[in-house]
Amino acid sequence: MDAANLRVNARGVATVDYLKNGRWRAAVVRGRRVRYGRGAPGADVTVPTSAVAVPMIVALRVGPSGRFWALQVWQRIKGGQVELRLSRWRGAPTKLELWTHCCKWRSEIVRGRATFHGRPIFGYRSTPSGVPLDGLGRNVYIDSWRNGRWQRLMGILTHRPTGRFGLWIRPYWRGSQYAARMVGPNWGRTLAPDAFACCPQTRLR
């Protein structure tokens, strides 16, 4: 994906135009259904806004009703494609908190919490390795800053009922700072935006 823009008509149907391999394409999002081809008819009723802070942003717009619409881009899976992601919601965006805790086995633990409008984000079913098996569960993808670049550690599950998570940092994973990203929750008609957080390492005793 080389470029993208977003428009939404009066019926709340979003058209995402994106440039890939030198060719413009369109994805039309109606509710949770996506179709590819010609864009949706009707004038764009949204305008650009900076009323809320959203990370990894490509486009952020607001409609007459106060609903926000956003396009975000990031690489969710290590070695995978960079993803262009659409969200629509009201009020504050998804909140991701991140901090480090010292000390365990001569290293540190990265901890955090994921919420949307004060409600913790978690699922009810997952595999033993922490892969969500329902539409509510979320993995948080953690990176460390080492050797002058961000390097992916792993994805970890947010836990029921608090939305908290934690990862023990193996000594060879330690970086000067840590970053976390996650996909926002899909609750009802809300497709909450994806979230980002960053924190410094702990000074080990």
pLDDT tens, residue by residue, 124-180: 999 999 999 999 999 999 999 999 999 999 999 999 999 999 999 999 999 999 999
CA distance 183 to 192: 8
Choosing from 34, 59, 89, the residue where a domain stops is 89
Q: pLDDT tens across 49-63, in order?
A: 999 999 999 999 999
Residue 205 lies in a domain: no
Q: How confident is the model at residue 4 (pLDDT cuts 50, 70, 90)?
A: very high
Give the pLDDT mean for 67-75: 98
CA distances from 149 to 54, 145, 152 (A): 22, 5, 10
pLDDT confidence of residue 205: 40
Lowest mean pLDDT among 25-29, 79-83, 100-104, 120-124: 100-104
* Domain-located, residue 186: yes
Half-sphere exposure of 81 (CA within 13 A, CB side): 6
The helix (H) or strand (E) run that includes residue 102 is: strand 95-104
| 189 and 99 co-located in one domain | yes
pLDDT at residue number 75: 95
Please say whether the dihedral angle defined by the alpha carbons of residues 133, 135, 137 and 140, taken in this order, is positive or negative. positive
Contact (CB, 8 A) for 179 and 196: yes
Structural domain of residue 48, as residue ranges? Answer: 3-89
Spatial separation of the C-alpha atoms in residues 83 and 75, rounded to whole Å: 6
Sign of torsion, CA 30 31 35 36? positive
Q: Are 107 and 189 in a shared domain?
A: yes
Longest dimension (CA), the chain: 62
Residue 151 lies in a domain: yes
Q: How far apart are CA 193 and CA 58, in angstroms?
A: 12
pLDDT band at 203 (very low <50, low <70, confident <90, very high): low
% of the chain with per-residue pLDDT over 90 = 90
Helices (H), the chain: none
